[in-house]
A and B are shown apart, each in its own frame.
Chain A
Amino acid sequence: MPEASRQGDVPSLDDDDPTLSERFGMTIPLLLPAWLVTYPLRWLLDRQTLVPSPLGLVCWGGIGLAFAFGATYPDNDEVAAVVFAVVVAAVFYVAEGVLAPPFPAVRGQPVYLVGPLLNAVGAFLVGHVVAYHRGLGTVLGLVTGDDGSEVADDDS
């Protein structure tokens, strides 16, 4: 049996797991769906310009890369990773654009970044739940009472 033939193996990391550099390489394509989502969102929020400011490009690129990198967990499938990147970008821009200015032009006041950072963390967690833990079914489950269980094995 295949299981028996592996019983003497020394436990090790899966050799198929992508390396760090490979994960960075995988993040780039994930920026495309995130951009496709945030472009109309930014347009709707009146933040879209034909030529993005250098600061805006750096912010978007940095945030997008960080979230897309998080989406490339070794044990997650491609669809979940794409959903993660898209949901996080959408939640972040909605939270920042609708309810609060994202990054005020004022410099020299680091405390102004606390709100945007919390928004980024919140977007990450919501995106993680939606992408990797049965999607919107999680939210419905909280309503119907089918929720709260440990989810370590849900995605395996």
Chain B
Amino acid sequence: MSLNRLSRRSLLAGGVGALAGGQLLRPSTFRESFDADPSVSTDEWLLPGRSPARRNHVPVTGGTELSVAWDRSFDGGSGYRVVVADGRAIVPVTDDAVYAVEVADGSTAWRARPRPESGYGVALGGEHICCSTGDGFYVLGPSGNSKWWLPGYNYRTVESAGFLSTFLPVGSTLFTVGRRGLEARDMASGLRHWVGARPDGSRLTTNPLAFADGTLYCAGGRYGKQPFVAVDPEDGSQQWATAAFEYENRQLAVDGDTLLATGETEAGGRIQAFAVDDGALRWQRATATGLLGPTVADGLVVCASEGGRLHAFDRTSGEQRWTVGRQAAADELVRTDNHLYIHSPRGVEVRDPSTGERRALHELEGTDPNGFAYASGHLFALRDDRLFALEVVDGA
């Protein structure tokens, strides 16, 4: 039917109706309500550091007796990180795909290839899988089906060692850094909740590093002099900021009323403790080489250093409890209530967290430790192009 055959009233009514319909069906209609509940079960290891508090601690006893339940290799480049939930281990393999592996036997549950160069870390939140590539940020469903993606959000990472985290999933909310600065998005729809702002209304350009007890903790810039910032996750407003500190990279972990910052400086490494209420500096210690992400439990902070050493500090006073020399060759750490597990080029060591004394060493093939997680009664060690599942005999 020609438009000329329609009455003016019809055309105008149709136009206004279509415009009204366009407003009613705005994309934000499909967004779910804000939710940043970080609670996880002891069977889940949702991201490097396990939970958004990034303490690398699992509240189980653990054990010294380890046995390889299974191992499997991947095609393509080496895996980067491993996370575990719902009985499956998720591994992004560089230049290949994202794999979901059954915890029970190592078989492949599914394989997803959002883009061939996937491999910049993986994390889980709100029953979704986040993975970043060189050409965008992808969110997959629990069966590996593609849900949505953000073009232009390239090279986002959730790593906490050697990088500065640029996204952090918490419950069904994704915190990340966009073109306008820190932002929160709905995990299910990908739509934005808010863009962060400083008290003066200016943009809050800072990276989400940790989350605990309803507060998001951030730091700006991988290099240079930047403050640590606490942000209200409901609306993105800045709650407080510390003084600016020089770091070359930095990680955060939250334990009770203490915010712990570790990283590398021009002179070596540093660990700082701040009050979570107002960002007041409680103590700080310097080390000879840069410190990696800490494990925190029972008032004890244990960090591996880039020099392959282990350092243990009292969480309250900052007093150094013990140090293990270069022979530790430590790379990644996992803490249970009674044991400290270290993923090193030789394999997996078990140490006494209160003294640093070695209790056991389980040697593994491969030399390049890439990912480490403890979930479902197993330690998962990703090294070179292989994933090892080590059964832990609890209490042994």
Which A residues are closer than 8 A to B by beta carbons? 91, 95-96, 99-101, 104-109, 111-112, 114-129, 133-134, 138-139, 141-142, 147-152, 155
Contacts and interface: CB of A to CB of B under 8 A. Distances in A.
A126 B23 contact: no
A106 B5 contact: no
Nearest to B23: A99
B27 interface: yes
Given A114-B25, A118-B19, A125-B14, A149 B7 contact: yes
18 contacts: A100-B23, A100-B28, A109-B27, A112-B30, A115-B25, A115-B27, A119-B18, A121-B18, A122-B15, A122-B19, A126-B15, A126-B16, A127-B15, A133-B11, A141-B8, A147-B7, A147-B8, A147-B9
B17 A129 contact: no
B330 to A, nearest CB: 40
A99 B26 contact: yes
Interface of B: 3-9, 11-12, 14-30, 136, 146-152, 189-192
A109 B25 CA distance: 13
Contact of A122 (B22, B146, B150): B22
Contacts of A122: 14-22
A127 B14 CA distance: 12
Contacts of A133: 8, 11
Contacts of B146: 108
Given A116-B22, A122-B16, A129-B12, 18 more contacts: A96-B22, A100-B26, A101-B27, A104-B27, A105-B152, A118-B21, A118-B25, A119-B19, A119-B22, A120-B22, A121-B18, A124-B15, A126-B19, A133-B8, A139-B12, A142-B9, A147-B9, A148-B7
A122 B23 CA distance: 11
A46 to B, nearest CB: 11
Contact of A148 (B5, B9, B29, B147): B9
Given A95-B19, A105-B152, A123-B19, A151 B189 contact: no
B28 to A, nearest CB: 7
A106 B12 contact: no
B293 to A, nearest CB: 30
A56 B152 CA distance: 13
A78 B22 CA distance: 30
List 10 A-B pairs, minimum CB-CB distance, nearest first.
A125-B15, A122-B18, A122-B19, A119-B22, A118-B22, A100-B26, A106-B190, A126-B15, A115-B25, A112-B27
Given A101-B27, A148-B8, A152-B4, A108 B21 contact: no
Nearest to A133: B8
Contacts of A141: 8
* Candidate in B20, B21, B25 with the most chain A CB atoms within 10 angstroms: B25
Contacts, number: 127
A105 B150 contact: yes
The DSSP consensus for interface residues of chain B is: helix
A126 B12 contact: yes
A128 B18 contact: no
Contacts of A112: 27, 30
A138 B8 contact: yes
A150 B23 CA distance: 29
A20 B322 CA distance: 82
A115 B16 CA distance: 13
A142 B20 CA distance: 19
A152 B7 CA distance: 8
Contacts of B22: 95-96, 100, 115-122
Contact of A142 (B12, B18, B29): B12
Contacts of B8: 129, 133-134, 138, 141-142, 147-149, 151
A118 B5 contact: no
Contacts of A114: 25
A142 B28 CA distance: 33
B4 A101 contact: no
A101 B22 CA distance: 11
Contact of A107 (B9, B11, B26, B150): B150
A101 B19 contact: no
Contact of B30 (A111, A118, A125, A139): A111
A101 to B, nearest CB: 6
Contacts of B9: 142, 147-148
A125 B148 contact: no
A57 to B, nearest CB: 15
B154 to A, nearest CB: 13
B15 to A, nearest CB: 3
Nearest to A109: B148
A127 B27 CA distance: 24
B160 to A, nearest CB: 26
B19 A106 contact: no
Given A126-B12, A126-B15, A108 B147 contact: yes
Contacts of B5: 150, 152
